[in-house]
């Protein structure tokens, strides 16, 4: 986060906003007037597929309220192994995980 972004984020935080800089999906896709967000994870890891970070889950949950969101697990050959749709979260408890500025040095 650069100095200007930090100043803006600090001001927004003081106004009561939660601010998330990291964790946004890898791809923003659009076609035929439709939009969706896609996070891409490796399916080739030795001990199982990549996992979503808390920040990625938060971003997918928030975006999922307004557009379809998906996670694609892709192997080294480019083949999709699994797709999870985050557009309809089963519980709002994910939102309670949001930490706003945790780890960014602002409280």
- As a whole number of angstroms, the distance between CA 73 and CA 61 comes to 18
DSSP bridge pairs for 27: 38
Number of CB atoms found within 10 A of residue 84's CB: 13
* Cβ neighbours of residue 10 closer than 8 Å, sequence gap 6 or more: 106
pLDDT of the chain, 107 residues: tens digit per residue: 899 999 999 999 999 998 888 889 999 999 999 888 888 888 776 666 688 888 888 888 888 888 888 888 777 777 776 566 665 444 334 444 444 433 344 43
- Whole-number pLDDT of residue 47: 67
Handedness of CA 24, 72, 95, 47 (dihedral sign): negative
User: What residues does each domain of the chain span?
Assistant: 22-92
- Whole-number pLDDT of residue 27: 92
- Whole-number pLDDT of residue 68: 83
94 in Cβ contact with 86 (< 8 Å): no
- Whole-number pLDDT of residue 15: 95
- Whole-number pLDDT of residue 86: 64
């Amino acid at each position: 986060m650069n100095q200007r972004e930090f100043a803006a984020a600090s001001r927004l935080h003081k106004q009561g906003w939660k601010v998330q800089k990291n964790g946004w999906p890898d791809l923003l896709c659009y076609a035929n007037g439709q939009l969706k967000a896609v996070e891409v994870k490796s399916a080739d890891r030795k001990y199982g597929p990549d996992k979503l970070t808390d920040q990625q889950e938060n971003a997918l949950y928030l975006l999922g309220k307004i557009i379809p969101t998906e996670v694609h697990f892709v192997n080294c050959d480019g083949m999709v192994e699994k797709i999870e749709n985050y557009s309809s979260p089963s519980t709002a408890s994910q939102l309670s995980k949001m930490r706003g500025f945790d780890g960014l040095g602002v409280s």
